[in-house]
Structure 1
Amino acid sequence: MKYSSIPSAQTVVYNCKANGINNIVISPGSRNAPLTIGFSEDPSFNCYSIVDERCAAFFALGIAQQSKKPVALLCSSGSALLNYYPAIAEAYYSDIPLVIITADRPPHKIDIGDGQTIRQENVFQNHIGYSANLKLDIRNTNPLGLGDTEGSQQVSIQRYNEEELLKALNIAFQDKMPVHINVPFEEPLYGVVGKPLMLTIGAVRKEQENPFVEDLDEFIKLWNTAKRKMILVGVHDPSHEVQELLDSVANDPSVIVFTETTSNLHHPNFFGSIDSIIAPIEKSKDKEELFQKLRPEILLTFGGLIVSKKIKAFLRKFTPEHHWHIDPKKANNTFFCLSHHFKVQPIQFFEVFNGGLVSQPSNYFSFWNSVKKGYQVKRQEYMAQIPFSDMLAFHHIFKNVPNGYQLQLANSSTIRYAQLFDLDPSLHVFCNRGTSGIDGSTSTAIGASIVHEDPTLFITGDLSFFYDSNALWNNHIRSDFRIIVLNNEGGGIFRILPGQEDTENFETFFETVHHMDASHLCQMYQMEYQMAENEKELDMALTSFFGKSDKPKLLEIKTPRVLNNKILLSYFDFIS
């Protein structure tokens, strides 16, 4: 086996290996050659080559999202690492551990006019758990060979580098945060040795679940006396344990549980389409009275960011008396009324909390459940009468997704349409809701599919898909990977948001009208391509789309650009 001749390169590789970081996503370059040699020559690492650094970072994020372990990213110096930033921000806000390893020039070569030299130290400081700026090995710090204290200086540098690495890796493992390790290298870069150096390997502290010791008596008393309690769940990984604990709470007539597509929680008593409850109230002449009737005395939240803008607007205006949030790290004051933060995992909280609960007589659940049943009937009626559109396409897609699939959703219109439908509980649903950007959704889905046992379906809009088309420049796409692109020839969500108008400026600078399709991309990247332009073609395509194949498949659904927003907005009128 070959090893880089540079001590700091060996140190980084050894520490990753010793601490179980075995997935390495490498973008090609010269300055990172010492690290690339170290990782790629060691068979204990799974090395993935992704040329585009932005795609590489989201690809790594997808792997970490599913494996729940840190994934390492490796790139060259200069502008390369700046392309990591969108995925780093997403990882930061989604609590996903990435270890970003960037090669750098020696300090004395920064700001002297050389190419691909930028100020890399602490470049991600606003969205990173820790920045470890390693020191240049002594063999390169003195290019003229002057001085006689190289040995002692190198020992000091080695000790410093090891300590910095350990700090960074501990934060990645313990706090589930991205960390940055910046490693300066001087040429020559490609030197190798047959035997490794004798290095000290630091072991990270493995994550430990602290016992929940907070006294809940007063909180349970408040809960048991309240007539209106709302539980709202944001982004949440599938969990049978949390599901079972929440099921018992949901049987209380004074409790309503609002979930989202990304909550991965299902129960007949849960309210899974939040906007279908709130939108009709907004249109009612009795909206003040109805909103007061929906207003909870206690709001209990857990999980990540909330998709529904309507529930956020409602709870910010009709604030609960108490808002409690459950999360071991952070509590976003999303509704501007946060009163208590339980710093614990939801499963630990409910194991204690449920033991003291007493059901409270109330019509809170029964009233809103009757509203839910009403809109469910009306939704079926509406689907039966609307023309071909985004909404009808989603209706057919979700009826046909096989059980057990991983479902990766792009942001913007895709995730918001998904909120309106009831998905099968066997589906595992994910979406980049940390920053909620359209960039990187395809790359994330492909990375996630690598480590997920079941097949993956990725649903996306056209702008998001074309924006991240380099994601397909990837030799790791499984043959059972499926993509559905809703192509309405522009940013359809801008026709739904306030400010929509039929002008040339709007179509050019907001909606971004185009006439592209995905057929040529599929031909270039050797994917099977299907296209549907009406309901009959869509139904026919879906009958074979999920079948076994030798190549990944893409289904492009073309819908009417100027009709989709009218059909969606009319849906809320119809169910009202």
Structure 2
Amino acid sequence: MSATLDFRNTNALWGSVLVETLARCGVREAVVSPGSRSTPLTIALARHPQIEAVPVLDERSAAFFALGLAKQHRRPVVLLCTSGTAGANYFPAVIEAQESNVPLLVITADRPPEMRDCASGQTIDQQRLFGGHANFYHELAVPEPRLDRLAYLRQTIAHAVMRTQSPAAGPVHLNAPFRDPLPPIEDASVRALAGQIGDDFFAHLDRPAPVGAATMAWAAPMTGRGVIVAGPAHVADPAIYAQKVSALATMLCWPVLADALSPVRSQLAAADIVTCYDAILREPQVAKRLRPEAVLCLGGWPTSKVLRGWLETSGAEVLLVATSAANRDALHGRARQIIADVESLAVTGRRADDAGYRAAWQQAEVRARSQFDVVLEKEKALFEPKACWLLAQHLPKNTPVFVASSMPVRDVEYFWPATKRQQAVYFNRGANGIDGTLSTALGIAHGNRPAVLLTGDLALLHDANGFLLRPKLRGSLTIVLINNAGGGIFEHLPVAQFDPPFEEFFATPQAVDFAKLCAAHDVEHVLIRGWPEFSKLIATLPEQGIRVLELRTDRKHDAARRKQLLADAAEPVRG
């Protein structure tokens, strides 16, 4: 009999069998939202020695914290809540998990069937609550103290864990009804089952089936005018991934355009990749001269709208390599898709080298990067793009970095250079929203190396309840806060010229005192006065706690400067 099983009553036994099955299937983390109906599972998770259960008050924050943990560990994380609207607050993170292939096992506790549709408190229709955004849905049976029902539970939970990872990673939803009594009040009749559940009840779960990636062959077109687009990707081993991309580039004789959210940007030398393509391709004549005949896209489509537009109009043959079977061709071009890991891709066929084409890309890269470096090196004012440029150079090697959506991810895309400093870059780019920015970053930081979050003010405020996680955090998170009093990305959109209503309804200015917000949560706050201070603070990260480094910038001024800097970087490549 497993020592983790709880025979005090039916619900206690049901919950402990469920949680022991999770543990045998490799689950090591659970995020628990407080509530009553989920009591049997909360107690079982809290007492299991192999599972770290973290209570988080706000359900939306809890869901994104679990998402961050799953991103960090690349394994399923359990997310548990009570009945009613609690599970609805998980929806944004469930969508992100589905869009970005992150394994989450969401368990929503529920009233039993006889208490539904009769105005019973805290009861809503939870059937298929997340619709098509779950890999798999099942409502568990109401607990019964019977061996055959426990065997059903064991098999169903093992299957649910498997479905979070196969055939593609993503969220799974289990709805779990419980009758009273919810706490483990003693029921002597359940004790009789203790002698019927031996060690062999779970033994087969300790031997997971081996998973191996099959080699996928691609007959590459014989052209030297091809490019490899290394798009956003979370991978198990960034170094091996980057080596594979480098090997593909050597074999094909094609340049590598490395998205800032690809491991390639922080693993390969500057001479081996192109990082300034967004600026380079803004010059129409250069974009035309560099037009490819073939494209190999690895991972997701790139962040850069300029690059995507250039690919769309090129008419090139495109091969998409992705681990998901979902349609990844947002450009609707001449694209084929291979469902495979990049590491398992084998290229066949003859190669056709075009040294002039590769040289043109590299020359354009050197000129544009030099323009960026010269301008940003001289910049004394707190200009937003310089923050990510300095982070790339001064952060300790192997630092986990979470990049918020909207303007921060675009500044990283534009200005983060190739460094070979092996920073692990994380992001929520499945649905591209700002939901759960702080909570996801805390999930990345929990139990990890000292981590960094680069965010704007609105994204941080949108998830300010994430600060409630501070007492639970094992490790540290340094938040680089670009406070430009509003939504800076909207300054780059055509709607910016229509004011009113632009400033109030799109830029949505805020006047929060972040020092006071941090003080309310016992979080360290530093108002950055200059770049030397900033560089010093990011070079050595604290071992524990949350620290906010606030940079107050001028949103409109920086938007104009950013546009000019990108235009100036494109100018020298015309020749």
Letter in structure 1 aligned against 2:488? G
The match for 2:353 is: 360
Instruction: Give, in angstroms, the shift of residue 563 of structure 1.
Output: 0.8
Total equivalences in the alignment = 541
1:467-491 alpha-carbon deviations (Å, 9 max, x no partner):
1111110123245321110000001
Quick one: which of 214, 225, 231 aligns to 1:228? Answer: 225
1:520-567 alpha-carbon deviations (Å, 9 max, x no partner):
22212222210025xxx3422432353546643210100012212111
Between the aligned partners of 2:524 and 2:209, the Cα distance in structure 1 is 43
The answer on 1:270 being equivalent to 2:270 is no
1:78-104 alpha-carbon deviations (Å, 9 max, x no partner):
111111111111111111111111100
1:255-293 alpha-carbon deviations (Å, 9 max, x no partner):
121111110103322112331221233xxxx3xxx4343
Contact 2:300–2:328 (Cα < 8 Å) also in 1: no
Between the aligned partners of 1:523 and 1:423, the Cα distance in structure 2 is 37
Segments of structure 2 that go 5 or more residues without pairing to the other structure are none
Between the aligned partners of 1:11 and 1:43, the Cα distance in structure 2 is 14
Contact 1:382–1:574 (Cα < 8 Å) also in 2: no
Between the aligned partners of 2:150 and 2:229, the Cα distance in structure 1 is 49
Which of 21-30 and 196-205 deviates more?
A: 196-205
Instruction: Give, in angstroms, the shift of residue 76 of structure 1.
Output: 0.5
Quick one: which of 462, 470, 473 aligns to 1:467? Answer: 462
Contact 1:325–1:341 (Cα < 8 Å) also in 2: yes
The answer on 1:46 being equivalent to 2:52 is yes
Quick one: which of 128, 151, 160 aligns to 1:168? Answer: 160
Pairwise mapping of residues 376-415 of structure 1 onto structure 2 (< 5 A)? 376-383=369-376, 384=378, 387-415=381-409
The match for 1:312 is: 308
Pairwise mapping of residues 438-477 of structure 1 onto structure 2 (< 5 A)? 438-452=434-448, 454-474=449-469, 475-477=471-473
Letter in structure 1 aligned against 2:228? I
Instruction: Give, in angstroms, the shift of residue 397 of structure 1.
Output: 3.7
Pairwise mapping of residues 145-156 of structure 1 onto structure 2 (< 5 A)? none
1:273-320 alpha-carbon deviations (Å, 9 max, x no partner):
331221233xxxx3xxx4343222111111134211111112122220
The answer on 1:435 being equivalent to 2:431 is yes
TM-score by length of 1: 0.88
Instruction: Give, in angstroms, the shift of residue 158 of structure 1.
Output: 4.4
1:473-511 alpha-carbon deviations (Å, 9 max, x no partner):
012324532111000000111111221036242111110
Between the aligned partners of 1:378 and 1:427, the Cα distance in structure 2 is 24
* CA pair 315-410 structure 1, distance change in 2 beyond 3 A: same
Partner SS for 2:495 = coil
Instruction: Give, in angstroms, the shift of residue 234 of structure 1.
Output: 1.3
Partner SS for 2:255 = strand
Between the aligned partners of 1:111 and 1:435, the Cα distance in structure 2 is 33
* CA pair 215-382 structure 1, distance change in 2 beyond 3 A: closer
Which of 54-63 and 477-486 deviates more?
A: 477-486
Quick one: which of 119, 122, 127 aligns to 2:125? Answer: 119
The match for 1:66 is: 72
The match for 1:25 is: 31
Partner SS for 2:435 = coil
Which of 159-168 and 370-379 deviates more?
A: 159-168
Percent of aligned pairs sharing the same letter: 26
Segments of structure 1 that go 5 or more residues without pairing to the other structure are 140-153
Quick one: which of 96, 110, 115 aligns to 1:109? Answer: 115
Quick one: which of 493, 518, 523 aligns to 2:489? Answer: 493
Contact 1:261–1:419 (Cα < 8 Å) also in 2: yes
Contact 2:277–2:307 (Cα < 8 Å) also in 1: yes
Partner SS for 1:419 = helix
The answer on 1:255 being equivalent to 2:229 is no
The answer on 1:525 being equivalent to 2:521 is yes
Quick one: which of 368, 374, 395 aligns to 1:375? Answer: 368
Instruction: Give, in angstroms, the shift of residue 403 of structure 1.
Output: 2.3
Which of 102-111 and 378-387 deviates more?
A: 378-387
Contact 1:253–1:362 (Cα < 8 Å) also in 2: no
TM-score by length of 2: 0.88
Instruction: Give, in angstroms, the shift of residue 334 of structure 1.
Output: 2.4
Instruction: Give, in angstroms, the shift of residue 13 of structure 1.
Output: 1.4
Instruction: Give, in angstroms, the shift of residue 366 of structure 1.
Output: 0.7
Instruction: Give, in angstroms, the shift of residue 378 of structure 1.
Output: 1.6
The answer on 1:177 being equivalent to 2:170 is yes
Between the aligned partners of 1:517 and 1:207, the Cα distance in structure 2 is 53
The match for 1:89 is: 95
Between the aligned partners of 2:29 and 2:109, the Cα distance in structure 1 is 18
Contact 2:40–2:182 (Cα < 8 Å) also in 1: yes
The match for 2:533 is: 540
The answer on 1:10 being equivalent to 2:16 is yes
Instruction: Give, in angstroms, the shift of residue 45 of structure 1.
Output: 1.4
Which of 54-63 and 550-559 deviates more?
A: 550-559
Between the aligned partners of 1:424 and 1:81, the Cα distance in structure 2 is 42
Between the aligned partners of 2:322 and 2:518, the Cα distance in structure 1 is 42
* CA pair 165-419 structure 1, distance change in 2 beyond 3 A: same
* CA pair 519-335 structure 1, distance change in 2 beyond 3 A: same
Letter in structure 2 aligned against 1:317? T
Contact 2:450–2:541 (Cα < 8 Å) also in 1: no
The match for 1:574 is: 568
Instruction: Give, in angstroms, the shift of residue 462 of structure 1.
Output: 0.3
* CA pair 397-211 structure 1, distance change in 2 beyond 3 A: closer
Instruction: Give, in angstroms, the shift of residue 569 of structure 1.
Output: 0.9
Contact 2:223–2:351 (Cα < 8 Å) also in 1: no
Between the aligned partners of 1:551 and 1:386, the Cα distance in structure 2 is 30
Which of 307-316 and 418-427 deviates more?
A: 418-427
The match for 1:144 is: none
Which of 509-518 and 188-197 deviates more?
A: 188-197
Partner SS for 1:87 = helix
Between the aligned partners of 1:125 and 1:12, the Cα distance in structure 2 is 24
Letter in structure 1 aligned against 2:97? A
Instruction: Give, in angstroms, the shift of residue 445 of structure 1.
Output: 1.1
Between the aligned partners of 2:373 and 2:398, the Cα distance in structure 1 is 24
The answer on 1:56 being equivalent to 2:62 is yes
The match for 1:332 is: 328
After superposition, the CA RMSD in angstroms is 2.4
The answer on 1:554 being equivalent to 2:551 is no
Letter in structure 2 aligned against 1:460? T
Between the aligned partners of 2:549 and 2:321, the Cα distance in structure 1 is 40
Partner SS for 1:279 = coil
Letter in structure 2 aligned against 1:169? V
Instruction: Give, in angstroms, the shift of residue 328 of structure 1.
Output: 3.5
Between the aligned partners of 2:143 and 2:160, the Cα distance in structure 1 is 19
Letter in structure 2 aligned against 1:226? T
The match for 1:208 is: 211
Partner SS for 1:516 = coil
Instruction: Give, in angstroms, the shift of residue 167 of structure 1.
Output: 2.8
Between the aligned partners of 2:80 and 2:379, the Cα distance in structure 1 is 52
The match for 1:147 is: none
Partner SS for 2:382 = coil
Partner SS for 1:363 = helix
